[in-house]
Structure 1
């Protein structure tokens, strides 16, 4: 390959055994699941190619999109798949990050969007296989089982609903079936266990890295940033455009109403709202300042944008939420507002008030998004029209 290159670095945990990766990339350096700062540290050591499969989260800082983008802009190649890698590859694809596998595509199309879909419990001394089952593996396995008639659609939906209610550290096939009140045969369990999408995606990503290495036979890439990727300069501190070019006045009222109804504004905005009227007691500019000052404006706008796209897509497809979709939406809103139940939330916010009516309308829209997610993973696209991915663009 001409000039000597640093070997690729692979951040690997419970998604696949190291032997799967080393059989494709024999000189790869296998590292534990990526944490905040790991990519920076490896790039400073002149590594040029990174495969991110697994990442730590919860009790440690997870690898951030900013870190991934900084390293790519510095000239490195980053490929993501399987777990946290798939999520970050979807986040950062516009910046030049490569993704591979089914899970990456589901994240990229916003059919799934949370870390909970890929989260698992594992032993640090023996990372593979995981001790629990990732939710996305369960979704895909059940969908395949329904297609060949091993499982009925109703059973699949009940098991997935039960699995979603389990914490990821308790999520196993037997636990999900017990919670759903269904019987899990040994034959069916073997079928499910044989479908490991995270592992399949990891192998696919390793092959993608191999192809990239074969194509790129030029000299090693020089680091472009002498000051640690902007950490000591202006790169880290540059201010993003939270509106992404949108007209603030065009979306302001709807965005703030979404914040209040969804509970995303709790507890920051609770003291700024007259709940009986549902109106803000402060200028809308103050809400933007509160979020902007905390650095959360861009994140909340992104959540709002994805929500709007999901509602629009569900309506375009003519979907109607089922009772379980509505129940899940009510539970989510009650939890977000820190109350025990949906009925308690309505009472606390004033039954019959203007705000409770808006809250009920928001609950119906949230149920639509849950219906869309469920049908996307079990029934295929409900419309013959090309699906618009759930990415929001303000214009």
Structure 2
């Protein structure tokens, strides 16, 4: 039976199917303005809310006041990976719990914009249609550490990605727009295809695992 006391907003950083293999909970699509207030108006039994994915540009983002109202009702609110990491960084002084690498990056000022985690998505299937800047950053960091690219080349790649409108961001688009030689472009693309990591997905799993740990299951 689905645990009706735990509500988690995701579907983009991690699929509902995979999330359910980690934790029995009620899963909702990426959160938007008004969703948490609506959830709590219809359900008095919610004990934990997990915020992973949220809407940034398609409609108004989830309001800080909604999360604060949940916290005032002694509901545990956990965030990470995407919108959850951003809101947790802003609201951890008030009791929201932040989990994962991206949350820590926001907290330390390594990243500071919702654009850093934004992606284009298919609203019907929640399929991710672009790469978030944060994923590009961690993968290009690894390529530099493995001496596939230089620091200067990484800086150029990250600037190209940052200057690209978020729905158009991809590894291939960014790499092919750079000044890398054709040979080095092929080498880097092959490296990414073989070693690519998805930091948002990793953090989404951490959020769900943390909620499982603190829940009564």
**Pair 1:120-2:119 in alignment:** yes
Report deviation, 1:30: 1.4
**Pair 1:204-2:202 in alignment:** no
User: Computing the radius of gyration over CA atoms, which structure comes out larger, 1 or 2?
Assistant: 1
- CA RMSD in angstroms, aligned pairs only: 1.6
Where does structure 2 lack aligned partners over 5 or more consecutive residues?
A: none
Tell me which residue corresponds to 2:174: 176
| Worse overlay, 55-64 or 178-187 | 178-187
* SS of residue matched to 1:120: coil
**Pair 1:40-2:40 in alignment:** no
Structure 1 segment 341-352 matched on structure 2, within 5 A: none
Distance in structure 1 (CA, Å) of the matches to 2:138 and 2:17: 24
Where does structure 1 lack aligned partners over 5 or more consecutive residues?
A: 218-395
Is the Cα–Cα contact under 8 Å of residues 13 and 81 in structure 2 kept in the other structure? yes
Distance in structure 2 (CA, Å) of the matches to 1:106 and 1:147: 19
Distance in structure 1 (CA, Å) of the matches to 2:126 and 2:58: 17
Distance in structure 1 (CA, Å) of the matches to 2:194 and 2:162: 21
Distance in structure 2 (CA, Å) of the matches to 1:77 and 1:120: 27
Residue by residue, what CA displacement relative to the aligned partner does 1:64-90 show, whole Å, maximum 9, x if unpaired? 122111111111111101100100011
Is the Cα–Cα contact under 8 Å of residues 40 and 67 in structure 1 kept in the other structure? yes
Distance in structure 1 (CA, Å) of the matches to 2:139 and 2:93: 30
Tell me which residue corresponds to 1:50: 49
Alpha-carbon spacing, 1:59–1:123, altered in 2? closer, same or farther (3 Å):
closer
* SS of residue matched to 1:187: helix
* SS of residue matched to 1:61: coil
Residue by residue, what CA displacement relative to the aligned partner does 1:290-316 show, whole Å, maximum 9, x if unpaired? xxxxxxxxxxxxxxxxxxxxxxxxxxx
Report deviation, 1:124: 1.6
Is the Cα–Cα contact under 8 Å of residues 43 and 76 in structure 1 kept in the other structure? no
* SS of residue matched to 1:23: helix
Is the Cα–Cα contact under 8 Å of residues 10 and 31 in structure 1 kept in the other structure? yes
Report deviation, 1:209: 0.2
Is the Cα–Cα contact under 8 Å of residues 4 and 26 in structure 2 kept in the other structure? no
Distance in structure 2 (CA, Å) of the matches to 1:82 and 1:68: 17
Tell me which residue corresponds to 2:190: 187
Distance in structure 1 (CA, Å) of the matches to 2:47 and 2:35: 13
Structure 1 residue ranges (4+ consecutive) displaced by more than 6 angstroms after TM superposition: none
Tell me which residue corresponds to 1:347: none
Tell me which residue corresponds to 2:73: 74
Tell me which residue corresponds to 1:17: 15
